[in-house]
Amino acid sequence: MLLRHVLTPPPTTLPRTVRAGDVGGPVAFAELRTSRRLVMLAPDVAVLPGASVTRTDRLVALAARIPPRTVVGRLSAVWVHTGHGDPRTLAVLYPPTAHRPTRRPDLRTHQATVADDDVEGLGGLLVTRPLRTAVDLARHVPRELSLPALERLCHDGLLDTARLAACLRAHPPGPLASESLDVVAELAALVSPRQRPGHDT
């Protein structure tokens, strides 16, 4: 280990999301993290201490791990929008017309049809919008995981429970639809005393 890696602060012209190549390699990156001159954001990606992290920053932090022609969704979309959750596991949606992305230990893939209005992003990096994210959570993610994530979306003003319920009622009736509406009823009871008018963009 070179002493200069310990003593040299990160360059002042760093991008908002920092990788090892931006600071001279893995050794320098590790030392800057150890000395708290960088703060981890996602696997192999850090930010400067005190940085105000945005949705775009979090999406860019996942960029190298997102398979082609997929959309970040479910719990990973909640992390992009709010910072809630663990970015070490990445959930993506892929269309029925595409092959399932190659399996990886850190990747969860889900086949889904996603409309243009359901996504937002930066260039080729796409994430489901909060409302579509919430619909997927209520329908497909276990309640013990979906409820805290949905509550965070509401807390951050990104989700309105009445609109979520209306979207879920538009799906065909059945056990899945009934369960998802139960989740939203529980969510509404949790957030109703403090829910602010939200938006889903």
Q: pLDDT, tens digit, for every residue of 17-30?
A: 999 999 999 999 99
> Do the Cβ atoms of 148 and 84 come closer than 8 Å?
yes
> Do the Cβ atoms of 73 and 92 come closer than 8 Å?
yes
Distance CA 55, CA 80 (A): 5
Question: pLDDT band at residue 12, thresholds of 50, 70 and 90?
Answer: low
Q: What is the pTM of this model?
A: 0.87
Per-residue pLDDT of 123-180, as tens digits, reads: 889 999 999 999 999 999 999 999 999 999 999 999 999 999 999 999 888 888 889 9
pLDDT score recorded for residue 68: 94
Question: For the chain, percent helix, then strand, then coil, each to nearest 5?
Answer: 45, 15, 40
Per-residue pLDDT of 112-129, as tens digits, reads: 999 999 999 988 899 999
Distances (CA, A) of 61 to 112, 142, 175, 188: 23, 26, 37, 32
* Virtual torsion, Cα 127, 129, 134, 139, nearest 10 deg: -60
Distance CA 59, CA 54 (A): 9
For the chain, give every domain's residue range.
3-51, 56-191
Per-residue pLDDT of 45-91, as tens digits, reads: 999 999 999 999 999 999 999 999 999 999 999 999 999 999 999 99
Residue 121 CB: number of other CB atoms within 10 A?
A: 17
